[in-house]
Amino acid sequence: MTAQTADPVSLSDEPAAPEGLLPPRGVNGVVATMRSPVFLAVVFLATVVQVCSDPVLAIMGGTGEWAHTLSPQVVITLVAVICLAQAICVSQLASRPELAMLGALGGYLLVAVVLGVPTWATPMQLVIAIAMFALGSARSIAVAAAWAAAGVVGALAALAGWAASVGAPPGAIAGFLLTEGTSLASLSFAGVTLGILWAVLERRTERARQHALDLQMQQGEAIEASRTAERGRIAQELHDVAGQHLAGLVSLCDASADLAPAHPQQALRLIDEVRAEGRYAAASLYGALGDLRAVEATAHTPTPDLRNLDDLVMFWRERGMDVVAQTHGDPETPPVVVSTTAYRAVQEALSNAAKHAAGAPVRIRVDIDPGRLNATVVNGAPRRPRADEGGLGLGWGLDNLRQKLTLVDGSLHAAADDEGGWRVGVEIPLPRTTEDVRD
């Protein structure tokens, strides 16, 4: 008289969520799985095949002696119905794991005690184990353990009563209960333990998911703050262009209008200055508006640096400037802030050349060494002598550039050369690498 028992397993769909429970999202996922028709069909078929296979084969083979009061066909049919009821209890009562566990235990005891075939009921312990797993995953450790212990004790009491009712001797009853108790208790508490472990892992996963969402939100806030700061910088640049360049244009136009009646040649030269100043303002506006488009675009355009030098040269060539650039060294080497600052210096020098030496050739040379970066922009003499501006020249661009270079410990040298042109040189030290320190 031996029979194995499994621990009752239950799941809960929407538990009351006391302390120590799995987050509702994880519990609901288990409940949804157990309530599916596929889960119900798999549990029922796996159980009924194991429960009925040996008796059916024995009957078909004509082996063994049938001593039950009911016919084999009736017992097999009743067992199959009970297996179906047990699978339905575990599946459809998943939101109430305690009831699911009691239903699984009840089905097991109906076969073992009421029908009196405990050895047939052994495979039904698997369904009890599933119910116990669900109970452990949906309830606190103390609650799940108490229900498992009560289920095991109650089942053993029912088995003991059945064994005594059939007249088994005390020694046989003790051995039967020891075997069944060990099997039922080990499977029940194993199911509860696995459920608790699953709940712990699910909580960790939920915390990691929430942490990832928090980081994503922080990143979004940081990006928005960066975009706001960049918009402020661009607004300042636009203010400088509109306020200073356009003011200069108005001043030059007023001066040319005053000089035109008495000094037409000087007025024409001032008009040339207006054209040069307009080019400079257009270039500055182009750069600022390009940055603004990059900030507002969904896919943000990186801030230009020396790797974009060819694009800058092409921009001025398309506007009639005779410009050639040479780069010696790897433009990927300098840090981003250094490369960006050097690019801005070259951009400023080209704008100045367009303003003060329209039509003159411009040559750019960038040297990138392990310890420093040098960028030089040289323009030839203007094709026509410039009129005396009388203090109307703006001169704010190079001062602004000097301030930017100070941030990277760089220096700016700007002066006329011997041939009547203009030379702008930038020198920025590069940080030493780990390899340099070791050397």
pTM for the model: 0.48
Query: Residue 34 belongs to what domain range?
Result: 24-217
pLDDT for residue 8 is more than 60: no
pLDDT for residue 377 is more than 90: yes
Query: What pLDDT sits at residue 203?
Result: 86
CB count in 10 Å sphere of residue 39: 17
Cα(78)–Cα(61) distance, rounded to whole angstroms? 21
Lowest mean pLDDT among 14-28, 91-105, 306-320: 14-28
Asked if the structure places residue 375 within a domain, the reply is yes
Query: What pLDDT sits at residue 358?
Result: 78
* 207 and 321, same domain (yes or no): no
Query: What pLDDT sits at residue 247?
Result: 65
> In CATH, what number is assigned to the domain containing residue 380?
3.30.565.10
Say what percent of the chain tops pLDDT 90.
14
Q: How is residue 416 written in tokens? A: 């006329």
Domain count, the chain: 2
Q: Write out pLDDT tens, residues 62-101.
A: 666 677 788 888 888 898 999 999 989 888 887 788 898 8
Asked if the structure places residue 2 within a domain, the reply is no
Query: What pLDDT sits at residue 285?
Result: 64
pLDDT for residue 418 is more than 70: yes
Q: Write out pLDDT tens, residues 265-288.
A: 877 777 777 766 665 566 566 556
Query: What pLDDT sits at residue 253?
Result: 78
Q: Where does a domain end: 217, 243, 268?
A: 217
Q: Where does a domain end: 162, 192, 217?
A: 217
Q: Where does a domain end: 157, 185, 217?
A: 217
The one-letter amino acid at 187: L
Query: What pLDDT sits at residue 282?
Result: 62
Asked if the structure places residue 402 within a domain, the reply is yes
Residue 422 or 257, more confident: 422
Q: Write out pLDDT tens, residues 196-251.
A: 898 888 888 888 888 888 888 888 888 888 777 777 766 666 665 555 566 667 77
* 318 and 434, same domain (yes or no): yes
Cα(45)–Cα(52) distance, rounded to whole angstroms? 11
Query: What pLDDT sits at residue 437?
Result: 35
Lowest mean pLDDT among 51-65, 148-162, 218-232, 424-438: 424-438
| Banded model confidence at residue 298, pLDDT cuts 50, 70, 90 | very low
Asked if the structure places residue 316 within a domain, the reply is yes
Query: What pLDDT sits at residue 51?
Result: 84
Q: Under a CB-based contact definition with an 8 Å cutoff, are residues 68 and 120 in contact?
A: no
* 211 and 335, same domain (yes or no): no
pLDDT for residue 13 is more than 80: no
Per-residue pLDDT, averaged over 245-260, amounts to 72
Report the mean per-residue pLDDT for the chain: 78
